[in-house]
């Protein structure tokens, strides 16, 4: 049952927690690129953790569902991997090899013990393995392209903002497709990444360090989070493959800002171009999802405005009807 007030509270708490952590550390000392990455990773972890507590999100250990596996295995793993692979001494080939293997493993972990593996149609198993491979390839491609853009344009903040928009849109789409908890997970993720990216951007601007500062970890965590929300929404919920693909690829439209017409404009102009181009397909998907929601779940909504699934009756109404307790 969606609870907008709770979601708003969660968003603010997660964002403030992450931002405060980054501000507190960067205020105390000037940090190097590697250390800023570590600070960002810890800030996201803190923000997400506090956000999940604020949202009273339940998960099980040992992980039983895909969402449990995302929260307890995939998300901590990407935090650890990003804290290691972002070290300058790690060669690019190894870094991207590890990231591709992780993307492949993440897809396999999320789908673990589901009907896709335990009860596949005859001869469909190899096709499903190909789908997992394609998913891992797509995640790595998006991850690589955004990381490269970040270094090329020396701007991570606008890319992180674009990713935040995508993650939040993915969450809303998953919710509109009927999987409320799966979509709600996107709220603390978006908030923590947003808070971290904005304050990290601020820290970079005021830094006297001559080293190039690109908190790439924010991008990596965002891409994996986006992928996980969409993957779970598609394979366990009812999010269509087309919508999931569009939402996954949308952040790469940030590259349009590298077209000479836009690249030579002001810094803010580049940020606006990136956000507008990424927001356009997201809006299309959200509108389509809303239309699907109205079509699929309209029969569940009574004409007098009482929604079977999303509203609770008032205690007074229940008392008036003398509700009998369950036997």
Partner 1 sequence: MIQSLFSHHLFACALTLILAVSFSGNTTRCSAADEYDYDLVHSSVSFKARHLDISWIHGRFNDVSGKFSIDRETPANSTFALTIKTDSVDTANAARDEHLRQPDYFDTKQFPTITFRSTSVKPIDGGYEVQGDFTMHGTTNEITLVLMGGKEHDIMGKKRVAFSTELSLKRSDYGFDKNAIGPIGDKALVMIDCEGVKK
Q: Give me the residues that bind partner 1 (CB under 8 A), please.
A: 1, 56-58, 60, 64-67, 113-116, 118-119, 178-182, 232, 235-238, 296-300, 306, 308-309, 311-313, 317-318, 321, 323, 326-327
**Rounded least distance, CB 187 to partner 1, Å:** 13
Q: Position of tokens 């409320």?
A: 180
**Rounded least distance, CB 319 to partner 1, Å:** 10
Backbone angles phi, psi at 301, to 5 degrees: -100, 125
Q: Position of tokens 């990596």?
A: 220
**Rounded least distance, CB 84 to partner 1, Å:** 31
**Rounded least distance, CB 83 to partner 1, Å:** 30
Select 176 or 271, whichever has its Cβ closest to partner 1: 176
How far apart CA 156 and CA 38 sit, in angstroms, is 15
Select 34 or 297, whichever has its Cβ closest to partner 1: 297
How far apart CA 303 and CA 165 sit, in angstroms, is 33
- CA-based angle 278:279:285, to the nearest 5? 105
Select 175 or 278, whichever has its Cβ closest to partner 1: 175
How far apart CA 305 and CA 222 sit, in angstroms, is 37
How far apart CA 175 and CA 293 sit, in angstroms, is 9
Closest among 177, 238, 185, 230 to 72, alpha carbons compared = 185
Select 116 or 262, whichever has its Cβ closest to partner 1: 116
- The answer to whether the CB of 46 falls within 8 A of the CB of 17 is yes
**Rounded least distance, CB 118 to partner 1, Å:** 8
**Tokens coding 66:** 């895909």
- CA-based angle 126:132:136, to the nearest 5? 145
Select 188 or 220, whichever has its Cβ closest to partner 1: 188
- CA-based angle 203:205:206, to the nearest 5? 70
**Rounded least distance, CB 326 to partner 1, Å:** 5
Could you tell me which residues are beta bridge partners of residue 70? none
**Rounded least distance, CB 321 to partner 1, Å:** 5
Select 80 or 317, whichever has its Cβ closest to partner 1: 317
Select 241 or 318, whichever has its Cβ closest to partner 1: 318
**Tokens coding 90:** 């790690």
* Three-state DSSP class for residue 103: helix
Select 92 or 119, whichever has its Cβ closest to partner 1: 119
Select 116 or 202, whichever has its Cβ closest to partner 1: 116
**Rounded least distance, CB 324 to partner 1, Å:** 9
Closest among 34, 18, 79 to 202, alpha carbons compared = 18
The dihedral built from the CA positions of residue 82, 87, 90 and 92, taken in this order, carries a sign that is positive
**Rounded least distance, CB 62 to partner 1, Å:** 9
């Amino acid at each position: 049952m969606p609870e907008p007030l709770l979601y708003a509270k969660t968003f603010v708490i997660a964002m403030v927690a992450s931002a405060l952590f980054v501000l507190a550390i960067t205020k105390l000392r000037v940090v190097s690129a590697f250390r800023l990455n570590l600070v960002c990773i810890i800030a996201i972890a803190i923000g997400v953790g506090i956000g999940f507590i604020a949202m009273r999100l339940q998960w099980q250990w040992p992980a039983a569902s895909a969402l449990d596996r995302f929260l307890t295995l995939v998300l901590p793993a990407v935090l650890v991997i990003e804290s290691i692979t972002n070290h300058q001494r790690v060669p690019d080939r190894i870094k991207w090899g590890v990231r591709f293997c992780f993307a492949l493993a993440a897809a396999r972990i999320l789908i673990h013990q589901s009907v896709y593996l335990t009860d596949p149609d005859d001869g469909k198993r190899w096709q499903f393995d190909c789908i997992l491979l394609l998913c891992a390839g797509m995640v790595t491609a998006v991850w690589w392209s955004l990381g490269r853009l970040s270094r090329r344009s020396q701007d991570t903040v606008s890319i992180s903002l674009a990713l935040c928009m995508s993650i939040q849109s993915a969450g809303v789409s998953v919710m509109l497709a009927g999987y409320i908890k799966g979509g709600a997970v996107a709220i603390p993720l978006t908030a923590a990444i947003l808070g971290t990216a904005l304050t990290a951007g601020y820290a970079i601007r005021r830094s006297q360090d001559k080293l190039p500062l690109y908190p790439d970890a924010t991008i990596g965590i965002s891409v994996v989070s986006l992928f996980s929300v969409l993957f779970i929404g598609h394979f366990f919920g009812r999010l269509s493959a087309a919508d999931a693909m569009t939402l996954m690829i949308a952040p790469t439209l940030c590259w349009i800002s590298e077209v000479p017409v836009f690249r030579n404009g002001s810094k803010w102009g580049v940020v606006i171009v990136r956000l507008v181009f990424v927001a356009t397909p997201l809006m299309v998907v959200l509108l389509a999802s809303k239309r699907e929601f109205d079509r699929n779940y309209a029969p569940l909504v009574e004409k007098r405005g009482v929604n079977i699934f999303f509203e609770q009756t008032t205690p007074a109404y229940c008392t008036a009807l003398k509700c009998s307790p369950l036997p």
